[in-house]
Structure 1
């Protein structure tokens, strides 16, 4: 049966592109040190490692999708997981139980919000959309590209260290025509706008990244080797795999047990994480918090039938106050507290406790 999706590539070689929605830029206090600001911005979209990201096929228009389209998305999630990372992906049927809600609305392009930014949207809203056939080579790459966004990757060609010089008017004209038909604002946001160096980890451009677009000849002026165009990557690159493993290494060790009123020192490098198991001795409200000069994110999960479910969280980055979480915990139940460090200053000593 013929596909109802538009997966055309016109004679000028321009493929259909991901049109990532604009997201508000975080504005930090101007008195933060450059090192502290960079640590916060680099890590702000990342999930705490070990998170189970639940995704739901969100059919808000009631049209239904063919099994091959759904299976390609499932396969794309599995490709990322097969790298050997600490994140888990789980399909659920109820949108209210999901973090990632996937639509297939034609005419709305393909796109995804980035990392934990998906949590800012109502459970009635899509956080990812696919607008063309996912079973073609270009469509398969699109599925992996959008999931890359959902776990924290930005567009690779917007890397400020890439050294790309565009023929900007040709880019606007190319993407303003079929099949994308983008207004100039969309082209600027997704192609010409360079990310802040503070948002980017690493210094090299990876033209083989699944987060890279392919471009037709004449759009890139520099580097000279790409004046003839750049192919659309079809698979996860070696650097894609390196960085996703760096952000989300496999979790092998059982978390250490944390007792009430026990202060636990956090000897962490920026971007690293410590996990703790909590089994409360009594049912009551508890407080959980960090101590010391640090920017950190704490996320508490409850073990429900062997699956960790989000319960509460706090991100204290960018302010000179330690984060606190107040939550009712139940005697004998198992909880896991994950704490990721952005940065420290002053003495650099950081501790965590619940009481």
Structure 2
């Protein structure tokens, strides 16, 4: 308690001193009571301020979680918050979501979404081109992500059902791959992880490039299809072409488009190396045996010298977090087979 200072004049007696002292003490007590009351009020007000600030922060957080991107159609896709329930209708998008660490948000995929192995526990919505709209609606997703393999009528049907769709498709290059990962990161609230993945891809590609021989650029032919149905390859307008170039090789079909190629051109260009992924439903050995024994290809130098490389076609074809790994593997296989 703070005591008031009492000044006693000459005419003041002892009783006066006692009175003034008692009065001053009471006044001091009352003042302190008022002070304590005021402090209590201020304390309550001070406590309420942080609570109000917390409320504002929570509100700001909700506002901050509102997300929108401009997808590859030029359409603004807006969500009230980052999606918790996602359906991916593209294998490369499915791989990207798992790489971003949010595979648990997936509530739907396609029959072809087979990597990583955890995808087997996610319900399939059907094939790439005609997924079940009924299943998609029943899964109640916050967002459906689809890439270049999707059909416009599928997108229209999903959006008509009131479900947001993000169409994410970029050019078939490594730079396009980076943008796909960044776009998926932006719409799912995982931008920092997306940046880490892109940085890792860039570092891997730089490491591969630093080891490439400036003098050795073998010609290669990628077999996407062969035999009675015609010859199909990774033409210059495909993502696989970019992987081939990044691995230090020359694609003999770089000037062709739309996956189609002519047998006469294969024979005329006579590639140094054949890249032969297993055909659908076959093992590599089965595919290799069929290819080398086919009369159309038996005269190729690569066949005669057994310069045939096998590689996972999914690794080569999907623009996503494993794309740099595809370049790395192909570059090493080329070096090994030329030794």
Q: If the TM-score is normalised by the length of the shorter chain, which range does it land in?
A: under 0.3
Q: Which structure has greater strand proportion?
A: 1
Taking structure 1 as the reference length, the TM-score comes to: 0.25
Greater C-alpha radius of gyration: 2
Taking structure 2 as the reference length, the TM-score comes to: 0.26
Q: Which structure has greater helix proportion?
A: 2
